[in-house]
Chains A and B, each alone.
Chain A
Amino acid sequence: MGTGVQAYISYRVITKTNLPEFEGPEKIVIRRYSDFEWLHDRLSEKYKGIFIPSLPEKNAVEKFRFSKEFIELRRRALDLFVNRIAVHPELKQSEDFRIFLQADEEKMDRARSYETGIFKKPSDFLQMFKTKVSDVVLGKEKPVEESSPEYEKLKNYIFELENHLAEAQKQAFRLVKRHRELGQSLADFGKAIKLLGACEGDSLEKVFSEVGSKSEMLSVKLQKEADNLLFNFEEPLKDYVRAVQSIKATLVDRANAFRQHYDLYREKEYKEHNLGKLQFVDREKFAELELKADSDEATKRFEHIVAVMNEELARFQEQKTADIGLAFHEFAKGQAKLAKDIADAWRGVLPKLEACSS
């Protein structure tokens, strides 16, 4: 749609359902990437504690943005996104999700204009866990964090896991590139050998031409395997990394909730402690009650997040084992087939070469 700088890709979202909340058994809508973003942000705001399914990367080099590969990868990732929401027991009930799946352009526009949430930027993650200069100046202590061993363990696990996964994903991406490079080399080599054979003439020429053809054929297979690796091995690893980043976002929510709970709790305690010392007017008593209500609510919110997170973690581990297991399987399968093809190709040429050299 559109041309030039304003151009964007739109995606067709098809919903098939027999749930009563929906307007019909099948619905097709057109959405663009920013619509998906909107949905993601709405869900992040409303469902604290839940690991919201991740989106594919937002930014891409302008030139790359319209390549077939990129578009297909993005499409797959968006497809996963939507489907993961649809199977999550809580998220699938979201009103915003329903709007996303069904609303026409007008309604969607209106819904989008209501957005008010605080968007999480990657810098937020680090900020949360660092001491603010202003705090120190004002004499406040380091922002308080949970100190339970489980929390510490979880936090360290998540951060380190991301590092390991990022490394694995980086190597997987390089491996895709190597396959392409090797494919290209083989093609060039095949051509050169064929030309060399033409110089030799007679039987030698035929054999060289055979070797050259096989090289070119294998080059094609290598390119295909490169694609396979990209979609079925590297992308799942990337998806894994994104999932871990989503967990980090949830950790931020948790930390915020904790701080709120902690601050209000402390304030409440302080007021209660000084109850006896101060003269109370009705108005202040009311304020105190409000404070207590707020504090209790903050505590409840925090505890809710913790409980939800624990459930989510268990689900996450299960899910990831299955996802990555599949990716490993595809990887091994692809590599095995490629190696077999290579061996077969060369074995096929051998008898001809042997006949030629004897």
Chain B
Amino acid sequence: MMSSAPPPPNLPADADGDMESLPLAPTASDYASVSSTFDPLLSSASLPTPIAAAPFPLSPSSFVDPPSYADVSASSSSFSPLSSAPSSSPRSARAAACEYALIAVSDPTPEAEPAATSLVPGSAPTYISYLVTSARRSGGAGGGGERRYAVRRRFRDFVTLADRLAESFRGHFVPPRPDKNTVESQVMQRDEFVAQRRAALERYLWRLAEHPAIGASDELRVFLQAEGKMPLPTSTDVASRMLDGAARLPRQLMGEEAVAAPQEVVQPAKGGRDLLRIFKELKQSVVSDWGGVKPPLVEEDKEFLDKKQKLQDWEQQLTSASQQAEALVKAQQDMGETMGALGLAFIKLTKFETEEAMYNSQRIRAADSKRIATAAVKASRACRDLNTQTVKYLDTLHEHLGIMLSVHTAFSDRASALLTVQTLMSDLASLQLRIEKLEAAASKIFGGDKTRHRKVEELRETIRATEDAKCCALREYERIKAAYAEKIVEGWETVAEETSGYARRSDNNLAW
């Protein structure tokens, strides 16, 4: 039930009396009731009350700035699936199945870099650390108190977590982490930026927790619960990796260490230490591209290709919808601004005519002007409020685009796993060929050649090792394929819910 009724359809031309009776914008208290009634997704308590409680005085000099992205992100701090309990959407189902009952990121505090040397005492470079509290959902009957954990983490730790997860969950749609910022420390300290980041980190952790595989993972648990310094190993940088790889290359070329160990095969070749492997896989990918020998594995199953095409379409539409949504928000914002400027112009006119009034008709006109101005200013504010809400849901579209990024990563994981398998298979094939040749050669020489025998044995060993590696690679590949199905449905349903919220928000534009 809307608290501001629409105006009566027929208004006679008598401007004066009916201007009064035209019900214009609701008062501030009405706004609060309007916003809270139409938002079952977020409980009314956690609704952005700062916006509802904003004062509506008519002071021409004080105009609210257009909502900044920071306001929106900061005010969605109470984002928590728990409060969506009333609706039994897939999202709350996921939340209910989630391992964690609570995750919160709070209390950003500056801390000094340890071991930092600074010429001027007291100006050591600082970073922000966040308090990460979590509580595991106690499963089973007679659940005792949930054990709460609180640890301090800095952004770098989140990056590490993201990297670890990316390695462990290849093929899964790993939610993307918030962006790094390569700006100077000045920006880092600013409140607005910190608030934005805090909210983003919280959302990120929730997304991780809700992920069926990642939520149950050790990496996440350790991150949330292990006190003290970050427990997960940070990934080494590329340079040392290359150096290691360069050191091994000569040995590999000599024939030793010709085969990658099974556990290494599980990771993609690129970025790894095994340069030889990188080269081999590169060669293989070229071969595949040129339609050379095609090992049977290249045939992807039709279903996967279909799904992939669908996902690509989906991404395209999502991008375009996201762009249009941005344009829409901008247009709405412009509208609000111009309406406000119009109101201001009329206020000035009113003041002027009132001061200079020589005729009674002037005073009447001034009063009319003032009413129009008031209405225009109120409409302008309503427009801005609407926009704040709209931006929030625009955010969702963007987040989904972010997920597409992890989809792409997963696709490329799969592709590189496939490449590894193919490489190994062609290795196998060529090794077999060599054995055959040698055996053919050996059979030609009477008495057999001991060295040749030895060679044949060695080759057989190599083949066996390669077979092992190939099995591992195949297993990995199959596992990645299996990781897709569940994510797809989930993603689509989330979009639906969140766009329904957008429609509710649009209702707010009833200021007249």
- Which chain A residues have a beta carbon within 8 Å of chain B's beta carbons? 153, 157, 160-161, 164-165, 167-168, 170-172, 174-175, 178-179, 181-182, 184-186, 188-189, 191-193, 195-196, 198-200, 204, 207-208, 211, 313-314, 317-318, 320-322, 324-326, 328-329, 331-333, 335-337, 339-340, 342-343, 346-347, 349-350, 353-354, 356-358
CB of B95, distance to nearest CB on chain A (Å): 14
Q: Are B365 and A320 interface neighbours, CB within 8 A?
A: yes
CB of A325, distance to nearest CB on chain B (Å): 3
In the bound assembly, the distance between CA atoms of A320 and B330 in angstroms comes to 36
Q: Are A339 and B365 interface neighbours, CB within 8 A?
A: no
- Do A211 and B499 form a contact, CB below 8 Å, given A175-B339, A339-B509? yes
Residues of A within 8 A of B11 (CB): 329, 333
CB of A204, distance to nearest CB on chain B (Å): 5
Residues of B within 8 A of A320 (CB): 361, 365
Residues of B within 8 A of A331 (CB): 372
In the bound assembly, the distance between CA atoms of A208 and B495 in angstroms comes to 11
Which of A189, A196, A211, A328 has most chain B Cβ within 10 Å?
Answer: A196
> Can you list 18 contacts pairing A with B, beta carbon distance less than 8 Å?
A153-B356, A167-B345, A174-B338, A178-B339, A182-B331, A185-B331, A189-B321, A193-B499, A200-B496, A317-B362, A321-B368, A325-B368, A328-B15, A328-B368, A332-B372, A343-B506, A346-B506, A353-B500
- Do A171 and B359 form a contact, CB below 8 Å, given A161-B352, A328-B372, A347-B507? no
CB of B387, distance to nearest CB on chain A (Å): 11
Residues of B within 8 A of A200 (CB): 314, 492, 495-496
Q: Are B328 and A185 interface neighbours, CB within 8 A?
A: yes
Residues of B within 8 A of A346 (CB): 503-504, 506-507
Residues of A within 8 A of B328 (CB): 182, 185-186, 188-189
With an 8 A cutoff between CB atoms, is B305 at the interface?
A: no
B residues 358-376 near A (Cβ < 8 Å) are 358-359, 361-362, 364-365, 368-369, 371-372, 375
In the bound assembly, the distance between CA atoms of A343 and B3 in angstroms comes to 12
Q: Are B507 and A343 interface neighbours, CB within 8 A?
A: yes
Residues of A within 8 A of B496 (CB): 200, 204, 207, 353, 356-357
Output the nearest chain A residue to B320 by Cβ-Cβ distance: A192
- Do A343 and B345 form a contact, CB below 8 Å, given A182-B332, A321-B362? no
Which of B314, B345, B362 has most chain A Cβ within 10 Å?
Answer: B345
Q: Are A357 and B320 interface neighbours, CB within 8 A?
A: no
Output the nearest chain B residue to A212 by Cβ-Cβ distance: B321
Q: Are B16 and A325 interface neighbours, CB within 8 A?
A: yes
CB of A196, distance to nearest CB on chain B (Å): 4
CB of A270, distance to nearest CB on chain B (Å): 37
Output the nearest chain B residue to A198 by Cβ-Cβ distance: B317
CB of A98, distance to nearest CB on chain B (Å): 32
Q: Are B324 and A164 interface neighbours, CB within 8 A?
A: no
Residues of A within 8 A of B503 (CB): 211, 346, 349-350, 353
- Do A358 and B349 form a contact, CB below 8 Å, given A195-B317, A204-B496, A332-B19? no
Q: Are A357 and B89 interface neighbours, CB within 8 A?
A: yes
Output the nearest chain A residue to B504 by Cβ-Cβ distance: A350
In the bound assembly, the distance between CA atoms of A350 and B364 in angstroms comes to 43
Residues of B within 8 A of A171 (CB): 338, 341-342, 345
Q: Identify the 7 closest CB pairs spanning chains A and B, nearest first.
A: A325-B15, A353-B500, A171-B342, A185-B331, A196-B317, A189-B324, A192-B321
Q: Are A358 and B87 interface neighbours, CB within 8 A?
A: yes
Q: Are B506 and A325 interface neighbours, CB within 8 A?
A: no
Q: Are B509 and A343 interface neighbours, CB within 8 A?
A: yes
In the bound assembly, the distance between CA atoms of A335 and B511 in angstroms comes to 10
Residues of B within 8 A of A168 (CB): 342, 345-346, 349
Q: A164-B348, A357-B89 are in contact. List 17 more A-B contacts (CB 8 A).
A: A153-B356, A167-B345, A185-B327, A185-B328, A192-B321, A199-B314, A204-B495, A318-B359, A318-B361, A321-B365, A325-B15, A332-B372, A332-B375, A340-B510, A342-B506, A346-B507, A357-B493
Q: Are A335 and B379 interface neighbours, CB within 8 A?
A: yes
CB of B403, distance to nearest CB on chain A (Å): 14
Residues of B within 8 A of A167 (CB): 345, 348
Cross-chain contact of B497 among A184, A191, A321, A357 (Cβ < 8 A): A357
Output the nearest chain A residue to B346 by Cβ-Cβ distance: A168
- Do A321 and B364 form a contact, CB below 8 Å, given A199-B317, A332-B19? yes
Residues of A within 8 A of B317 (CB): 192, 195-196, 198-199
Residues of B within 8 A of A358 (CB): 87-89
Q: Are B365 and A193 interface neighbours, CB within 8 A?
A: no
Residues of A within 8 A of B497 (CB): 357
Which of B330, B495, B500, B507 has most chain A Cβ within 10 Å?
Answer: B500
> What per-residue 1/0 map shows which CB atoms of B333-346 lie under 8 Å from chain A?
01100110110011
Residues of A within 8 A of B335 (CB): 175, 178-179, 181-182
Output the nearest chain B residue to A331 by Cβ-Cβ distance: B372
Q: Are B310 and A199 interface neighbours, CB within 8 A?
A: yes
Q: Are B88 and A342 interface neighbours, CB within 8 A?
A: no
Residues of A within 8 A of B507 (CB): 343, 346-347, 350
Output the nearest chain B residue to A150 by Cβ-Cβ distance: B358
In the bound assembly, the distance between CA atoms of A172 and B15 in angstroms comes to 19
In the bound assembly, the distance between CA atoms of A171 and B510 in angstroms comes to 22
Residues of B within 8 A of A189 (CB): 321, 324-325, 327-328
CB of B329, distance to nearest CB on chain A (Å): 9
- Do A324 and B368 form a contact, CB below 8 Å, given A332-B22, A336-B22? yes
Q: Are A196 and B500 interface neighbours, CB within 8 A?
A: no
Residues of A within 8 A of B339 (CB): 175, 178
Residues of A within 8 A of B338 (CB): 171, 174-175, 178
CB of B475, distance to nearest CB on chain A (Å): 33
